[in-house]
Amino acid sequence: MTKPRKILENFLKPFFSSSNKGKNDDLEKIAAQEQKQFSFGVLVSATKDFHPDNKLGEGGFGPVFKGKLSDGRQIAVKKLSHSSRQGMKEFKNEAKLLARVQHRNVVNLLGYCIHGVEKLLVYEYVANESLDKILFKSANRDALSWKQRHDIIVGIARGLLYLHEGSHTCIIHRDIKASNILLDDKWVPKIADFGMARLYPEDKTHINTRVAGTNGYMAPEYVMYGHLSVKADVFSFGVVVLELISGQKNSTFNRDPDSRSLLEWAYRLYKKGRSWEIMDPALAQSAIPDEIAMYIQIGLLCIQADPPLRPTMQQVVVMLSKNPGSLDREPTRPGYPGSRIRSHRPGGGTSHTAGTSGASNPSTFSSSSISNTVSATASSSTPTRRRSDPHGKRPVRD
């Protein structure tokens, strides 16, 4: 056995339990074959000894640095913090899950490095950083035309579909949000940060797990009961869709004092036939009205309180490819922590505790309605700011 392969197998041992040894032997072999070892010296040189100027950010696992290899490739190096117990767990989880994952819309793991107490993961460098830094900063928002936002929505959907149905086993990301969507130099979105992701058993409708995620993006059934399924990722995707269209961040939403969140505000406007008011004024010049109206409807379908009513990511990808005006599904009320969720009864009956679909007014856009949105936004006064949860990404309960 070669030394690099032996090192990697030792590194991956904690990922696999002895009770599943037969199934996991194959994963270990594949991981050993597909991963590439980087020497610590190469990464020190590439990052200029992990110089602060090359620091891209920091998570529960530790800091991430930008680097450049001798062959000219730019990389991002995730360096595990020596003092982070949670970071070690997330680090190992990410290494395990990404060992066999490769898709245009999922960040690419290039390799690893183990050097004494140092443990590092090496990724492709994504030039435009994360979506939130562009979308939620007014000075940068104009850089995102509707065509770019459209392509970002479609790309995220395709990446999630791959994770749910196209990879070696179903993977639930658990933390889909704007800051975990990286944009490359061509604005292609890449799903990142798999530290909290979970493998999903094929024979289960959901699993019960410790709740961890980011406020404003987590599905209500997951927050309140710890019920995790692919529909939790669908919910988070729907939030990101509405954020991309509105330019508003759900967790700090304060446009309407009568609405608890961006989700509730968007649903109310949709039911009143005024979906065009949701649109970011920065899109006025590049908007395709009918297409945006359809994407709002799809976003609302994804954030419904009742998980079975939400589409799968395969259905979402199909809907995103349809012609505007061709969707015949009406969204019910959105979910948020504290909202009541429908309980499904044998025989297909449901208790309608989260609201019913009903017939909505046509949610159409026009050039005049778009200009009205721009002028109304420019002239409106700022409402009282709602307090946001200061904890952000955090475990909620066991």
Q: Which residues are catalytic?
A: 175
Nearby residues of 56 by Cβ (< 8 Å), 6 or more positions away: 64, 65, 66, 76, 129
User: How many angstroms separate the first and last alpha carbons of the chain?
Assistant: 42
Tokens of 156: 């995220």
| Residue the block writes with tokens 């990389």 | 75
Are 183 and 240 a contacting pair, CB within 8 Å?
A: no
Q: CA 99, CA 235: separation in Å to the nearest integer?
A: 26
Alpha helices in the chain (DSSP H): 3-12, 21-34, 40-46, 85-98, 131-135, 138-141, 146-161, 220-225, 230-246, 262-271, 289-302, 313-320, 367-379
* Dihedral of alpha carbons 226, 227, 230, 231, sign: negative
Paired residues of 55 in beta bridges: 65
Tokens of 294: 């359809």
Neighbours of 230 (CB within 10 A): 22
Q: CA 90, CA 92: separation in Å to the nearest integer?
A: 6
Q: CA 14, CA 3: separation in Å to the nearest integer?
A: 19
Tokens of 226: 């710890």
Instruction: Return the closest-CA partner of residue 393 out of 10, 78, 87.
Output: 87
Tell me 171's DSSP state.
E
Tell me 162's DSSP state.
I
The phi and psi torsions of 55 (rounded to 5 degrees) equal -75, 125
Instruction: Return the closest-CA partner of residue 253 out of 244, 241, 261.
Output: 261
